[in-house]
Amino acid sequence: MTKAIIPSNDPARLARMQNEKLRMVGVDKAALDAQVREKREAEERERAADRAAAATTISFTAQLVQQEVVASQARRMQDRGVDAFRHQQEAERRQREAQARHEEAAAAAAEQAANLASPWLNEAPERGVSALAPHRVRPDHFKAFPPHQTAAILTTQAQQVEAKRVAEEQAAAEQAAFEAQAAGHAAEAERQAAAADVRRWQAAQEVLAVQQRQAEEAFSKEAELRAHLNSQQPTAAYFAQWGTSHR
């Protein structure tokens, strides 16, 4: 059941009475305006604080990502320095070992030459002459090998020296190949680590961009919603219910 609206002789006054936003009877407008203003100021301060917190979070995240990238680069530089120092030490060690082998071979050759030239291993004709007659030889003073046996011994020694040299060169070549392969693997691992750092940095930048865009969209939507809510005006359907049971 509806209740008839009481007519008024002053249509303007009646319109003001029916408009909740315009009527002034029994309303402390100054206090209400102050409350609305304080509420809007509080909401604006809250939104500003949210924006500042979001900006601070994004800034801190960017700084952490940058610090991680710098630290990763520093670690890679340190690893490269350690590898270079290790390679230098390894090269010096190989050089010392080669020098020691060369000196050892030279000493062995000198000792062998001295032994071969020693009178204990060579015949002395004057010591092999028998005291009984100058044309007789004392067998117990004969120390030398026949020429063909001496040549065979020298040939065998030369073959052994050559075989040892070839084996050492082969071992050195294998070691160099292994070290080159290890250096290649280390360089590839470093390249992959650098690429991974770049990908992480790019992903972090994308995340930061998405977060910033989402924050801006959220602030924009909130501002639009508040502007829409604060600007709504009563429609004719609202005034049609004035003085009825719906009120």
Determine, yes or no, domain membership for 96: yes
Using pLDDT thresholds of 50, 70 and 90, give the confidence band for residue 21.
low
Determine, yes or no, domain membership for 5: no
Read off the pTM. 0.42
For residues 23-38, average pLDDT: 70
C-alpha distances out from residue 119 to 102, 114, 123, 223, Å: 28, 10, 7, 113
| Strand boundaries in the chain, DSSP class E | none
Dihedral sign for Cα atoms in the order 200, 202, 206, 211: positive
Task: Supply the mean pLDDT for the chain.
Answer: 76
Do 10 and 247 touch, CB atoms closer than 8 A?
Answer: no
Determine, yes or no, domain membership for 201: yes
For residues 63-83, average pLDDT: 81
Determine, yes or no, domain membership for 52: yes
CB contact burial 181-201 (16+ within 10 A = b; e otherwise): eeeeeeeeeeeeeeeebeeee
- The Cα 132–Cα 76 span in angstroms is 88
Residue 46, pLDDT above cutoff 80? yes
For residues 168-196, average pLDDT: 84
Q: 3-state DSSP call for residue 137?
A: strand
Do 9 and 233 touch, CB atoms closer than 8 A?
Answer: no
Residue 234, pLDDT above cutoff 80? no
Looking at residue 1, what is its pLDDT?
A: 44
Residue 122, pLDDT above cutoff 70? no
137, β-bridge pairs:
129
Residue 81, pLDDT above cutoff 70? yes
Determine, yes or no, domain membership for 222: yes
Residue 175, pLDDT above cutoff 80? yes
Looking at residue 52, what is its pLDDT?
A: 83
Determine, yes or no, domain membership for 246: no
Do 226 and 41 touch, CB atoms closer than 8 A?
Answer: no
Q: Which tokens is 6 given?
A: 């009481």
Determine, yes or no, domain membership for 2: no
Determine, yes or no, domain membership for 247: no
Domain ranges, residue 54: 11-240
Number of domains forming the structure of the chain:
1
